[in-house]
Homo-oligomer: A and B are copies of this chain.
């Protein structure tokens, strides 16, 4: 098996294609953009994700299909998976596409979660706020990412405007979590059910967008995070790379959300792990042996949001590995990242600070 069709042609597909090539794998992607990010590294089909003719073309070429993001229509995936290996499974996509289903799954599996409530009316919202308290976050159940489709409720005065803005679709209210830190755990699950877990990533956001992800090898929360991710992956009959975002509160880990795909908080694995998340995702989807997820040195990733700093400045940081997605600069857009690798935690922190000084 050599030919992998990827639905979506953004930077995740781009990095997947770059991981595929050395293994002798061909990637074609499908994306509606005229200038897709992955277009520099692999051939693409320009069409919508629900374009039946385009999906048939991709299916005709590919020996396996995967996705770089979770908002692929479940119907497309169902159709494809009846004809060739298509992973992650439709069930995982459907669950991740709906925050309420996702939270209910966490609860079913005995995984701690922040307070939440389904919101279908302003009355629901008022009742839920009484129970959950304020501040709280009102979110659309489907779609929305990087802080989009959300409203933070700080006082009861915020309820009606937020409902007016978001209430045309089903919503979920999530209790505000006064967390100590945000972490994510990324793992790959093979077709035979075996799993490999990366060290947890400690994540910092700025303006709702991931800013910094630090690989925390031998973290005290590693075992609990792995147990959670393992349960979820099994529940979903998962194949490929799966990400779970978590809030740590004291010794508790509260599940925030899953991403049924490679994840921004795992970009450090390209240099900072024995096998990158992109390579392991492909290995899993193609039924190849999973690679080691061991950390390689100390590493972290700093996102470039809006624009990429000068190449010269980034590359002058020791242990810097530049990833320029070659996207047009635009406020709030993820256009690149740098992985920093070092021999010690202290040296790594210095390099993170040096990279942060290059940001606006």
Instruction: State the A residues within 8 Å of B (CB).
Output: 18, 21-24, 26, 40-41, 274, 283, 288-289, 291-292, 296-297, 308, 311-312, 315-316, 318-324, 326, 336, 341
Contacts and interface: CB of A to CB of B under 8 A. Distances in A.
A26 B318 CA distance: 23
13 contacts: A21-B40, A23-B315, A24-B324, A24-B326, A41-B41, A274-B319, A274-B341, A283-B315, A288-B315, A289-B312, A289-B316, A292-B319, A296-B341
A171 to B, nearest CB: 39
A324 B22 contact: yes
Copy count, this protein chain: 2
A155 to B, nearest CB: 46
A20 B26 CA distance: 19
Contact of A292 (B23, B274, B291, B318): B318
Contact of A288 (B18, B41, B311, B323): B311
A281 to B, nearest CB: 13
Contact of A22 (B21, B291, B323): B323
Contacts of A297: 296
Contacts of A323: 22
Contacts of A288: 311-312, 315
Nearest to A288: B315
Contact of A18 (B22, B311, B321, B322): B22
Nearest to A339: B22
Contacts of A336: 24
Contacts of A21: 18, 40-41
A88 B8 CA distance: 40
A322 B40 CA distance: 22
Given A24-B322, A289-B312, A291-B315, 15 more contacts: A18-B21, A21-B40, A21-B41, A22-B322, A22-B323, A23-B311, A23-B315, A23-B322, A23-B324, A24-B308, A24-B311, A24-B324, A288-B311, A289-B316, A296-B341
Contacts of A321: 22
A288 B314 CA distance: 10
Nearest to A323: B22
Contacts of A40: 21, 26
8 smallest CB-CB distances across A and B, nearest first, come from: A24-B324, A289-B316, A22-B323, A289-B315, A23-B322, A288-B315, A24-B326, A288-B312
A283 B21 CA distance: 22
Contacts of A23: 311, 315, 322, 324
Nearest to A24: B324
A279 to B, nearest CB: 9
Contacts of A326: 24
A336 B324 CA distance: 27
A276 to B, nearest CB: 10
A316 B190 CA distance: 13
Contacts of A26: 40
Nearest to A294: B343
A288 B322 CA distance: 12
A292 B336 CA distance: 21
Contacts of A22: 18, 321-324
